[in-house]
């Protein structure tokens, strides 16, 4: 009997060695990525699925209610705030993710956003292609301070890149890797002190209720007027109303935004009218190398499940104790 894999991730299995690997498995891949539908069309196919490879579309108790064959939910990425793990556990479904597989891609985009903001790259591009020659002096990031909120896999890679560029790095983390921080000369600060010290602040925390509006008007008021905020985490981590107001009033220089509460976002929001904000379409993890790494981990875990093994990346191990 053929294995049926439903996926809501547009990039799953499309890059590098993955198309050939999937073809060799003989699995039926059902792509539920219709952006005109709230669940990508998953509800039309979930009853046939043996495995669900989840993208950014939420996996809820309703998503898996009519899935009698489903054996596991595999997140095509790291953050699992879009997956109701408790609901999956109640159904006896293991949930996996792919830690660190796309960390370098996200860290590199953070560096790219810093350079874009520091050297006015988007504005320079628009000036030239529109027939102008608006040479705006920028600043160098060497010698500046980068504050990293969330020193996990992505944060650590970003820290090393920033240090290599001549930046000083400070970090805020609930469970800091103190050995790493000592090795790389990174100072541990609480969030308020980090915001006050940093020239650039890069967010790399999980989404969800605990971090909703982590960066609000009160926190933004602590930052330097010359500072920039980078959000490569989740949209709800930043209060965009407060962010737009701070930038518009000159209390903050600018921002780089890769994650939004609603995707695609409502571009009528005041934030999108500000020239000192750079946007990317939640593409931090979108490198060919990262897609291949993530896909390889997902395929490996599916193969383990099929063989009756327990993948090491299962997040809700209690399903095996039921």
Pairwise CA distance, residues 229 & 277, whole Å: 9
CB-CB contact of 175 with 151 (8 Å): no
- Residue 44 and residue 74 in one domain: yes
Residue 175 has pLDDT above 80, yes or no: yes
According to the model, what pLDDT value does residue 157 have?
A: 98
Q: Just list the catalytic residues.
A: 234, 263, 282
Report the pLDDT value the prediction gives residue 35, as an integer from 0 to 100.
Answer: 85
Range of the domain at 29: 4-101+287-321
Cα–Cα separations (whole angstroms), residue 65 to 40, 70, 77, 88, 235: 16, 10, 23, 10, 28
Residues 108 and 168 in one domain: yes
The tens digit of pLDDT for each residue in 58-107 reads 999 999 999 999 999 999 998 898 899 999 999 999 999 999 999 999 99
Query: Residue 1: is its pLDDT beyond 70?
Result: no
CA of residue 156 relative to chain centroid, distance: 15
- b/e 299-318 (16+ beta carbons within 10 angstroms → b): bebbebbeeeeebebbbbee
Residue 247 and residue 123 in one domain: yes
Domain count, the chain: 2
Q: Are residues 97 and 137 in the same domain?
A: no
**Would you place residue 321 in the very low, low, confident or very high pLDDT band (cuts 50, 70, 90)?**
confident
Residues 24, 82: one domain?
yes
Q: 261 and 201: one domain? A: yes
Instruction: Look at the pTM and tell me if it is higher than 0.85.
Output: yes
List, in sequence order, every residue forming a beta bridge with 147; answer none if it has no partner. 170, 201
pLDDT tens digits, residue range 291-311?
Answer: 999 999 999 999 999 999 999
Taking only the tens place, the pLDDT of each residue in 107-116 is 999 999 999 9
């Amino acid at each position: 009997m053929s294995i049926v894999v439903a996926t809501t991730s547009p990039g799953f299995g499309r890059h590098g060695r993955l198309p050939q690997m999937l073809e060799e498995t003989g699995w039926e891949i059902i792509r539920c990525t219709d952006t005109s539908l709230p669940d990508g069309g998953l509800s039309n196919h979930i009853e046939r699925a043996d495995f669900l490879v989840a993208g950014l579309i939420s996996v809820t108790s309703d998503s898996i209610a009519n899935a009698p064959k489903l054996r596991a939910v595999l997140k095509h990425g790291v953050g699992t705030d879009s997956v109701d793990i408790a609901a999956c556990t109640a159904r006896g479904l293991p949930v996996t993710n792919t830690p660190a597989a796309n960390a370098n891609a996200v860290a590199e985009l953070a560096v790219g956003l810093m350079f874009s903001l520091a050297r006015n790259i988007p504005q320079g591009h628009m000036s030239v292609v529109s027939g102008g020659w608006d040479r705006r002096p920028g600043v160098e990031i060497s010698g500046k301070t980068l504050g990293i909120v969330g020193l996990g896999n992505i944060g650590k890679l970003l820290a090393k890149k920033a240090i290599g560029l001549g930046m000083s790095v400070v970090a805020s983390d609930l469970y800091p890797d103190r050995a790493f921080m000592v090795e790389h000369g990174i100072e541990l600060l609480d969030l308020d002190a980090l915001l006050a010290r940093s020239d650039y602040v890069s967010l790399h925390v999980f989404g969800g209720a605990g971090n909703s509006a982590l960066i609000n008007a009160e926190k933004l008021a602590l930052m330097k007027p010359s500072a920039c905020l980078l959000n490569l985490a989740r949209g709800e981590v930043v209060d965009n109303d407060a962010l737009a107001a701070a930038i518009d009033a000159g209390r903050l220089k600018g921002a780089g935004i890769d994650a939004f509460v609603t995707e695609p976002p409502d571009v009528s929001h005041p934030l999108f009218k500000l020239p000192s904000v750079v946007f990317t379409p939640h593409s931090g993890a979108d490198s060919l190398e990262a897609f291949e790494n993530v896909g390889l981990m997902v395929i490996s875990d599916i193969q383990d499940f099929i063989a009756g093994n327990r993948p090491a990346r299962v997040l809700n191990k209690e399903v095996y104790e039921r």
